[in-house]
Structure 1
Amino acid sequence: MSTQFELAFVTDAIDESVEMELVSTVDAFVGGHGNVTIVTLTVPGPTVIDGMHRATATMKSLGIEVRAVHDDIVDRSQIASRLGTSTQAVGNWARGERRLAQPFPDPVILSGGGLWRWQEVADWLADLGRPVDDLRRPTALEVAQMTVLLAAEQKAGSCRTLRYRPSGPHPDFVFTSSVIAVAHASISHATKASRVDLADAANSKRTDFALVS
Protein backbone atom coordinates (compact mmCIF):
# COMPACT_ATOMS: atom_id res chain seq x y z
CA MET A 1 0.00 0.00 0.00
CA SER A 2 1.42 3.35 -1.05
CA THR A 3 1.25 6.44 1.14
CA GLN A 4 1.77 10.05 0.13
CA PHE A 5 4.66 11.45 2.16
CA GLU A 6 5.56 15.11 2.52
CA LEU A 7 9.33 15.32 2.95
CA ALA A 8 11.61 18.34 3.15
CA PHE A 9 15.33 18.68 2.54
CA VAL A 10 17.97 21.37 2.76
CA THR A 11 19.76 21.66 -0.58
CA ASP A 12 22.28 23.80 -2.35
CA ALA A 13 20.90 26.88 -4.13
CA ILE A 14 18.73 25.91 -7.13
CA ASP A 15 18.66 27.76 -10.44
CA GLU A 16 15.26 28.88 -11.67
CA SER A 17 15.44 26.59 -14.69
CA VAL A 18 16.19 23.57 -12.49
CA GLU A 19 13.39 24.56 -10.11
CA MET A 20 10.93 24.67 -13.01
CA GLU A 21 12.07 21.23 -14.16
CA LEU A 22 11.73 19.86 -10.63
CA VAL A 23 8.17 21.09 -10.09
CA SER A 24 7.20 19.74 -13.52
CA THR A 25 8.61 16.33 -12.57
CA VAL A 26 7.24 15.91 -9.05
CA ASP A 27 4.93 17.73 -6.64
CA ALA A 28 7.49 20.05 -5.08
CA PHE A 29 7.90 23.50 -3.58
CA VAL A 30 11.19 25.38 -3.29
CA GLY A 31 11.48 27.89 -0.48
CA GLY A 32 13.82 28.73 2.33
CA HIS A 33 15.11 31.46 4.55
CA GLY A 34 18.09 33.68 3.82
CA ASN A 35 20.80 31.57 2.20
CA VAL A 36 19.11 28.29 3.13
CA THR A 37 17.17 26.51 0.38
CA ILE A 38 14.47 24.06 1.44
CA VAL A 39 12.78 21.73 -1.03
CA THR A 40 9.49 20.15 0.06
CA LEU A 41 8.26 17.21 -2.00
CA THR A 42 5.21 14.99 -1.97
CA VAL A 43 6.21 11.47 -2.94
CA PRO A 44 4.51 8.05 -2.79
CA GLY A 45 5.97 5.00 -1.12
CA PRO A 46 5.21 2.07 1.15
CA THR A 47 7.48 3.56 3.83
CA VAL A 48 9.01 6.94 4.59
CA ILE A 49 12.46 5.57 3.74
CA ASP A 50 11.26 4.49 0.30
CA GLY A 51 9.78 7.95 -0.12
CA MET A 52 13.11 9.49 0.86
CA HIS A 53 14.96 7.37 -1.73
CA ARG A 54 12.51 8.46 -4.42
CA ALA A 55 12.76 12.13 -3.43
CA THR A 56 16.55 12.29 -3.23
CA ALA A 57 16.96 10.31 -6.47
CA THR A 58 14.65 12.75 -8.27
CA MET A 59 16.59 15.76 -7.01
CA LYS A 60 19.98 14.22 -7.78
CA SER A 61 18.86 13.36 -11.32
CA LEU A 62 18.43 17.12 -11.82
CA GLY A 63 21.80 17.94 -10.29
CA ILE A 64 20.38 19.17 -6.97
CA GLU A 65 22.75 18.52 -4.08
CA VAL A 66 20.87 17.37 -0.98
CA ARG A 67 22.56 18.54 2.21
CA ALA A 68 20.27 17.54 5.08
CA VAL A 69 16.82 16.41 6.13
CA HIS A 70 14.67 19.35 7.18
CA ASP A 71 12.53 18.81 10.27
CA ASP A 72 9.44 21.01 10.02
CA ILE A 73 9.49 22.86 13.35
CA VAL A 74 6.96 25.67 13.78
CA ASP A 75 6.13 28.39 16.30
CA ARG A 76 2.68 29.62 17.34
CA SER A 77 2.40 32.19 14.58
CA GLN A 78 3.32 29.62 11.92
CA ILE A 79 0.78 27.15 13.29
CA ALA A 80 -1.87 29.87 13.26
CA SER A 81 -1.00 30.88 9.70
CA ARG A 82 -1.16 27.31 8.40
CA LEU A 83 -4.47 26.63 10.12
CA GLY A 84 -6.08 29.98 9.37
CA THR A 85 -6.60 30.81 13.03
CA SER A 86 -5.18 33.25 15.57
CA THR A 87 -2.01 32.95 17.64
CA GLN A 88 -4.24 33.46 20.69
CA ALA A 89 -6.19 30.32 19.82
CA VAL A 90 -2.95 28.36 19.40
CA GLY A 91 -1.77 29.72 22.75
CA ASN A 92 -5.00 28.54 24.38
CA TRP A 93 -4.47 25.06 22.95
CA ALA A 94 -0.85 24.98 24.10
CA ARG A 95 -1.74 26.10 27.63
CA GLY A 96 -4.60 23.62 27.87
CA GLU A 97 -7.15 26.39 28.37
CA ARG A 98 -9.49 24.77 25.87
CA ARG A 99 -11.00 21.51 27.11
CA LEU A 100 -10.27 19.23 24.18
CA ALA A 101 -10.53 15.46 23.81
CA GLN A 102 -6.79 15.29 23.10
CA PRO A 103 -4.15 17.51 24.75
CA PHE A 104 -2.05 19.68 22.47
CA PRO A 105 1.37 18.16 21.65
CA ASP A 106 4.27 19.03 23.93
CA PRO A 107 6.71 21.53 22.39
CA VAL A 108 10.06 20.19 21.24
CA ILE A 109 11.68 23.45 22.40
CA LEU A 110 10.33 25.44 25.34
CA SER A 111 12.12 28.78 24.92
CA GLY A 112 10.76 31.68 22.90
CA GLY A 113 7.13 30.75 23.42
CA GLY A 114 7.63 27.16 22.32
CA LEU A 115 8.35 25.33 19.08
CA TRP A 116 6.41 22.30 17.84
CA ARG A 117 6.94 19.59 15.26
CA TRP A 118 4.35 20.24 12.56
CA GLN A 119 3.71 16.54 12.05
CA GLU A 120 2.64 16.21 15.69
CA VAL A 121 0.29 19.19 15.37
CA ALA A 122 -1.23 17.70 12.20
CA ASP A 123 -1.68 14.33 13.93
CA TRP A 124 -3.33 16.08 16.88
CA LEU A 125 -5.84 17.75 14.59
CA ALA A 126 -6.52 14.46 12.80
CA ASP A 127 -7.27 12.82 16.15
CA LEU A 128 -9.83 15.59 16.77
CA GLY A 129 -11.46 14.84 13.42
CA ARG A 130 -10.01 17.94 11.73
CA PRO A 131 -7.28 16.57 9.44
CA VAL A 132 -5.07 19.16 7.77
CA ASP A 133 -4.72 17.01 4.64
CA ASP A 134 -4.14 13.38 3.65
CA LEU A 135 -0.34 13.60 3.63
CA ARG A 136 1.93 11.71 6.01
CA ARG A 137 4.93 13.50 7.47
CA PRO A 138 7.89 11.81 9.16
CA THR A 139 7.86 11.31 12.90
CA ALA A 140 10.79 12.34 15.08
CA LEU A 141 12.19 8.80 14.88
CA GLU A 142 11.79 8.72 11.10
CA VAL A 143 13.54 12.09 10.76
CA ALA A 144 16.42 10.55 12.75
CA GLN A 145 16.43 7.48 10.50
CA MET A 146 16.47 9.64 7.37
CA THR A 147 19.26 11.77 8.80
CA VAL A 148 21.39 8.70 9.50
CA LEU A 149 20.81 7.24 6.03
CA LEU A 150 21.49 10.54 4.28
CA ALA A 151 24.70 10.96 6.28
CA ALA A 152 25.71 7.44 5.26
CA GLU A 153 24.96 8.23 1.64
CA GLN A 154 27.09 11.36 1.76
CA LYS A 155 29.97 9.42 3.29
CA ALA A 156 29.78 6.15 1.40
CA GLY A 157 28.36 7.37 -1.88
CA SER A 158 25.15 5.34 -1.70
CA CYS A 159 22.90 4.65 1.25
CA ARG A 160 21.67 1.54 -0.57
CA THR A 161 24.99 -0.15 0.25
CA LEU A 162 24.03 0.03 3.95
CA ARG A 163 21.41 -2.43 5.09
CA TYR A 164 18.94 -1.18 7.68
CA ARG A 165 17.69 -4.27 9.52
CA PRO A 166 15.75 -3.40 12.67
CA SER A 167 14.66 -6.21 14.96
CA GLY A 168 12.74 -6.02 18.20
CA PRO A 169 12.07 -2.54 19.59
CA HIS A 170 12.68 0.47 17.40
CA PRO A 171 16.27 1.71 17.62
CA ASP A 172 17.10 4.82 19.59
CA PHE A 173 19.12 7.35 17.59
CA VAL A 174 21.68 9.27 19.62
CA PHE A 175 23.23 12.47 18.28
CA THR A 176 26.58 13.67 19.59
CA SER A 177 28.64 16.72 18.73
CA SER A 178 30.96 14.82 16.40
CA VAL A 179 29.18 11.73 15.12
CA ILE A 180 25.74 10.30 14.54
CA ALA A 181 25.58 7.16 16.62
CA VAL A 182 22.95 4.47 16.67
CA ALA A 183 21.97 2.61 19.80
CA HIS A 184 19.55 -0.28 20.09
CA ALA A 185 17.50 -0.96 23.18
CA SER A 186 18.26 -4.69 23.00
CA ILE A 187 21.43 -5.55 21.10
CA SER A 188 21.48 -9.06 19.66
CA HIS A 189 24.32 -11.46 20.37
CA ALA A 190 25.57 -10.89 16.82
CA THR A 191 26.22 -7.23 17.53
CA LYS A 192 28.93 -6.54 20.10
CA ALA A 193 28.71 -2.74 20.22
CA SER A 194 25.66 -0.70 21.15
CA ARG A 195 27.00 2.41 19.40
CA VAL A 196 28.29 2.70 15.87
CA ASP A 197 30.49 5.50 14.60
CA LEU A 198 28.63 6.12 11.36
CA ALA A 199 31.46 8.06 9.79
CA ASP A 200 33.92 5.16 10.24
CA ALA A 201 31.35 2.65 9.02
CA ALA A 202 30.51 4.70 5.96
CA ASN A 203 34.15 5.37 5.10
CA SER A 204 34.87 1.65 5.24
CA LYS A 205 32.35 1.16 2.38
CA ARG A 206 31.45 -2.27 3.69
CA THR A 207 28.44 -3.78 1.92
CA ASP A 208 27.45 -5.99 4.84
CA PHE A 209 27.13 -3.19 7.37
CA ALA A 210 23.84 -2.83 9.25
CA LEU A 211 22.91 0.29 11.17
CA VAL A 212 21.19 -1.91 13.72
CA SER A 213 20.92 -5.66 13.89
Structure 2
Amino acid sequence: MGQYELIFTIDHLEEDRAFEISNTIDVMYSEHGRTSLLTVTSEGDTALAAATDVVAQLETQFGVVIHRAYEDLVTKADIAERAGATVQAVGQWARGVRRKELRFPEPFNLVGGGVWLWADVNEWLREAGKAYDDDLLYPNRDELELINAWLKNRKSGQPSRRINLVHLGSAMSEQNGVQFTASARSTRGVHASAVRAPDVVWTRADYEMAG
Protein backbone atom coordinates (compact mmCIF):
# COMPACT_ATOMS: atom_id res chain seq x y z
CA MET A 1 0.00 0.00 0.00
CA GLY A 2 1.46 3.34 -1.04
CA GLN A 3 0.52 7.00 -1.16
CA TYR A 4 0.28 8.21 -4.76
CA GLU A 5 0.25 11.76 -6.01
CA LEU A 6 -2.10 12.02 -8.98
CA ILE A 7 -2.93 14.90 -11.31
CA PHE A 8 -6.16 15.03 -13.29
CA THR A 9 -7.50 17.38 -15.93
CA ILE A 10 -10.99 18.41 -14.89
CA ASP A 11 -13.75 20.84 -15.72
CA HIS A 12 -13.30 24.32 -14.27
CA LEU A 13 -14.09 24.59 -10.56
CA GLU A 14 -15.62 27.64 -8.98
CA GLU A 15 -13.81 28.86 -5.90
CA ASP A 16 -16.51 27.73 -3.47
CA ARG A 17 -16.49 24.20 -4.91
CA ALA A 18 -12.70 24.01 -4.68
CA PHE A 19 -12.98 25.22 -1.09
CA GLU A 20 -15.55 22.51 -0.31
CA ILE A 21 -13.28 19.79 -1.71
CA SER A 22 -10.26 21.10 0.18
CA ASN A 23 -12.11 20.73 3.47
CA THR A 24 -12.24 16.96 2.92
CA ILE A 25 -9.29 16.09 0.69
CA ASP A 26 -5.77 17.52 0.53
CA VAL A 27 -5.81 18.92 -3.00
CA MET A 28 -4.22 21.61 -5.12
CA TYR A 29 -6.34 23.16 -7.85
CA SER A 30 -4.64 25.16 -10.59
CA GLU A 31 -5.63 26.77 -13.87
CA HIS A 32 -3.31 26.99 -16.88
CA GLY A 33 -5.18 28.99 -19.48
CA ARG A 34 -8.16 26.81 -20.36
CA THR A 35 -6.70 23.73 -18.66
CA SER A 36 -7.81 23.02 -15.09
CA LEU A 37 -5.73 20.61 -13.02
CA LEU A 38 -6.46 18.93 -9.71
CA THR A 39 -3.52 17.41 -7.81
CA VAL A 40 -4.48 14.96 -5.08
CA THR A 41 -2.93 12.18 -3.02
CA SER A 42 -4.61 8.80 -2.69
CA GLU A 43 -3.63 5.50 -1.11
CA GLY A 44 -3.66 2.20 -2.97
CA ASP A 45 -1.83 -1.03 -3.71
CA THR A 46 -1.31 0.25 -7.27
CA ALA A 47 -1.58 3.60 -9.00
CA LEU A 48 -4.76 2.42 -10.72
CA ALA A 49 -6.34 1.37 -7.43
CA ALA A 50 -5.44 4.74 -5.89
CA ALA A 51 -6.90 6.54 -8.91
CA THR A 52 -10.18 4.61 -8.96
CA ASP A 53 -10.79 5.30 -5.28
CA VAL A 54 -10.16 9.03 -5.41
CA VAL A 55 -11.98 9.49 -8.73
CA ALA A 56 -15.06 7.82 -7.26
CA GLN A 57 -14.95 10.15 -4.27
CA LEU A 58 -14.39 13.29 -6.33
CA GLU A 59 -17.20 12.45 -8.74
CA THR A 60 -19.85 11.10 -6.39
CA GLN A 61 -19.25 13.39 -3.42
CA PHE A 62 -18.28 16.61 -5.16
CA GLY A 63 -19.48 16.29 -8.74
CA VAL A 64 -16.03 16.86 -10.23
CA VAL A 65 -15.86 16.08 -13.96
CA ILE A 66 -12.58 14.24 -14.54
CA HIS A 67 -11.16 13.82 -18.03
CA ARG A 68 -7.75 12.17 -17.81
CA ALA A 69 -4.65 11.61 -15.69
CA TYR A 70 -2.13 14.33 -16.42
CA GLU A 71 1.62 13.84 -16.74
CA ASP A 72 3.77 15.57 -14.10
CA LEU A 73 6.43 16.88 -16.48
CA VAL A 74 9.52 18.69 -15.24
CA THR A 75 12.31 20.72 -16.82
CA LYS A 76 15.93 20.65 -15.70
CA ALA A 77 15.22 23.70 -13.56
CA ASP A 78 12.23 21.95 -11.96
CA ILE A 79 14.33 18.87 -11.23
CA ALA A 80 17.05 21.00 -9.69
CA GLU A 81 14.54 22.76 -7.44
CA ARG A 82 12.84 19.55 -6.30
CA ALA A 83 16.10 17.64 -5.80
CA GLY A 84 18.00 20.48 -4.13
CA ALA A 85 20.64 20.45 -6.86
CA THR A 86 21.93 22.94 -9.40
CA VAL A 87 20.68 23.11 -12.97
CA GLN A 88 24.26 22.44 -14.08
CA ALA A 89 24.34 19.21 -12.06
CA VAL A 90 21.03 18.07 -13.55
CA GLY A 91 22.37 18.78 -17.02
CA GLN A 92 25.40 16.62 -16.28
CA TRP A 93 23.17 13.81 -15.02
CA ALA A 94 21.09 14.01 -18.20
CA ARG A 95 24.19 13.96 -20.43
CA GLY A 96 25.77 11.11 -18.50
CA VAL A 97 28.75 13.21 -17.41
CA ARG A 98 28.05 12.38 -13.76
CA ARG A 99 26.69 9.13 -12.34
CA LYS A 100 27.58 7.28 -15.54
CA GLU A 101 26.87 3.95 -13.85
CA LEU A 102 23.19 4.90 -13.50
CA ARG A 103 21.56 5.98 -16.75
CA PHE A 104 19.37 9.06 -16.43
CA PRO A 105 15.79 8.66 -17.73
CA GLU A 106 15.05 9.54 -21.33
CA PRO A 107 13.11 12.80 -21.81
CA PHE A 108 9.35 12.45 -22.14
CA ASN A 109 9.51 15.13 -24.83
CA LEU A 110 12.32 17.26 -26.28
CA VAL A 111 10.36 20.52 -26.18
CA GLY A 112 12.23 23.44 -24.60
CA GLY A 113 15.44 21.52 -24.07
CA GLY A 114 13.66 18.47 -22.73
CA VAL A 115 10.98 17.64 -20.18
CA TRP A 116 10.95 14.51 -18.05
CA LEU A 117 8.25 12.54 -16.31
CA TRP A 118 8.75 13.21 -12.62
CA ALA A 119 8.04 9.58 -11.72
CA ASP A 120 11.07 8.52 -13.78
CA VAL A 121 13.33 11.19 -12.31
CA ASN A 122 12.17 10.57 -8.75
CA GLU A 123 12.94 6.86 -9.10
CA TRP A 124 16.38 7.70 -10.51
CA LEU A 125 17.10 10.00 -7.58
CA ARG A 126 16.21 7.25 -5.13
CA GLU A 127 18.40 4.72 -6.92
CA ALA A 128 21.23 7.26 -7.05
CA GLY A 129 21.02 7.75 -3.29
CA LYS A 130 20.19 11.43 -3.54
CA ALA A 131 18.79 13.17 -0.50
CA TYR A 132 15.44 13.92 -2.13
CA ASP A 133 12.70 11.49 -1.13
CA ASP A 134 9.21 12.62 -0.14
CA ASP A 135 7.88 9.05 0.35
CA LEU A 136 5.19 9.70 -2.26
CA LEU A 137 4.73 7.46 -5.27
CA TYR A 138 4.09 8.83 -8.75
CA PRO A 139 2.47 6.99 -11.67
CA ASN A 140 4.93 6.04 -14.40
CA ARG A 141 4.09 5.93 -18.11
CA ASP A 142 2.58 2.47 -17.99
CA GLU A 143 0.46 3.33 -14.95
CA LEU A 144 -0.74 6.57 -16.56
CA GLU A 145 -1.77 4.55 -19.61
CA LEU A 146 -3.73 2.15 -17.40
CA ILE A 147 -5.48 4.96 -15.54
CA ASN A 148 -6.41 6.81 -18.73
CA ALA A 149 -7.57 3.61 -20.41
CA TRP A 150 -9.82 2.92 -17.42
CA LEU A 151 -11.19 6.48 -17.46
CA LYS A 152 -11.90 6.28 -21.18
CA ASN A 153 -13.30 2.77 -21.08
CA ARG A 154 -15.76 3.33 -18.27
CA LYS A 155 -17.32 6.24 -20.16
CA SER A 156 -18.08 3.86 -23.00
CA GLY A 157 -20.14 1.74 -20.63
CA GLN A 158 -18.06 -1.36 -21.37
CA PRO A 159 -15.87 -1.95 -18.28
CA SER A 160 -14.60 -5.32 -19.51
CA ARG A 161 -13.67 -4.26 -23.03
CA ARG A 162 -10.07 -4.95 -24.09
CA ILE A 163 -8.06 -1.79 -24.70
CA ASN A 164 -4.84 -1.42 -26.64
CA LEU A 165 -2.13 0.31 -24.63
CA VAL A 166 1.45 1.34 -25.32
CA HIS A 167 4.72 0.87 -23.46
CA LEU A 168 3.56 -2.39 -21.88
CA GLY A 169 5.65 -4.73 -24.03
CA SER A 170 3.90 -8.03 -24.62
CA ALA A 171 2.56 -8.23 -21.10
CA MET A 172 -1.12 -8.27 -20.32
CA SER A 173 -2.64 -7.26 -17.01
CA GLU A 174 -6.12 -7.16 -15.57
CA GLN A 175 -6.98 -4.62 -12.90
CA ASN A 176 -10.35 -3.52 -11.53
CA GLY A 177 -12.21 -5.67 -14.05
CA VAL A 178 -10.54 -4.09 -17.09
CA GLN A 179 -8.25 -6.15 -19.30
CA PHE A 180 -5.35 -4.42 -21.00
CA THR A 181 -3.06 -5.57 -23.77
CA ALA A 182 -0.17 -3.88 -25.53
CA SER A 183 -0.03 -2.03 -28.81
CA ALA A 184 3.16 -1.26 -30.73
CA ARG A 185 2.19 2.27 -31.72
CA SER A 186 2.56 5.37 -29.55
CA THR A 187 1.96 9.05 -30.14
CA ARG A 188 2.92 11.54 -27.46
CA GLY A 189 2.86 15.29 -26.98
CA VAL A 190 3.18 17.84 -24.24
CA HIS A 191 0.81 20.64 -23.35
CA ALA A 192 2.55 24.00 -23.19
CA SER A 193 1.06 24.66 -19.76
CA ALA A 194 3.01 21.72 -18.33
CA VAL A 195 6.18 23.78 -18.19
CA ARG A 196 4.92 27.23 -17.27
CA ALA A 197 3.50 28.77 -14.13
CA PRO A 198 -0.25 28.35 -13.64
CA ASP A 199 -2.59 31.31 -13.85
CA VAL A 200 -4.46 30.32 -10.68
CA VAL A 201 -3.42 27.99 -7.86
CA TRP A 202 -5.51 27.09 -4.82
CA THR A 203 -4.26 24.72 -2.13
CA ARG A 204 -5.82 23.47 1.07
CA ALA A 205 -3.62 25.85 3.06
CA ASP A 206 -4.99 28.82 1.11
CA TYR A 207 -8.55 27.91 2.02
CA GLU A 208 -7.66 27.37 5.68
CA MET A 209 -6.09 30.84 5.80
CA ALA A 210 -9.08 32.36 4.01
CA GLY A 211 -11.42 30.78 6.53
Aligned partners of 1:163 and 1:211 also within 8 Å: no
Number of paired residues? 176
Q: TM-score, normalised by structure 2?
A: 0.73
Bigger CA radius of gyration: 1
Q: Does 1 or 2 have the higher relative contact order (CA < 8 Å, sep 6+)? A: 2
- String of CA shifts for 1:34-90, please: whole Å, max 9, x gaps: 221111111111221111111111211201100111011111122223223332221
Matched, 1:173 2:165: yes
Identity of aligned residues (%): 31
Aligned residue for 1:10, secondary structure, equals strand
The corresponding residue for 2:170 is 185
Aligned residue for 1:31, secondary structure, equals strand
The corresponding residue for 1:119 is 119
Alignment of 1:26-175 (within 5 A): 26-60=25-59, 61-99=61-99, 101-130=101-130, 131-156=132-157, 162-163=159-160, 173-174=165-166
The corresponding residue for 2:192 is none
Which runs of 5 or more structure 1 residues have no equivalent in the other structure? 166-170, 176-182, 188-207
Aligned partners of 1:3 and 1:44 also within 8 Å: yes
Shift of the 117–209 alpha-carbon distance from structure 1 to 2, 3 Å rule, reads: closer
- Which runs of 4 or more aligned residues in structure 1 lie more than 6 Å from their structure 2 counterparts after TM superposition? none
Aligned residue for 2:23, secondary structure, equals helix
One-letter code of the match for 2:127? D
Shift of 1:164: 8.0
Which runs of 5 or more structure 2 residues have no equivalent in the other structure? 182-211
Aligned partners of 1:8 and 1:38 also within 8 Å: yes
Separation (CA, whole Å) in 2 of partners of 1:85 and 1:184? 34
One-letter code of the match for 1:162? P
The corresponding residue for 1:10 is 9
Aligned partners of 2:27 and 2:39 also within 8 Å: yes
**Alignment RMSD:** 2.8
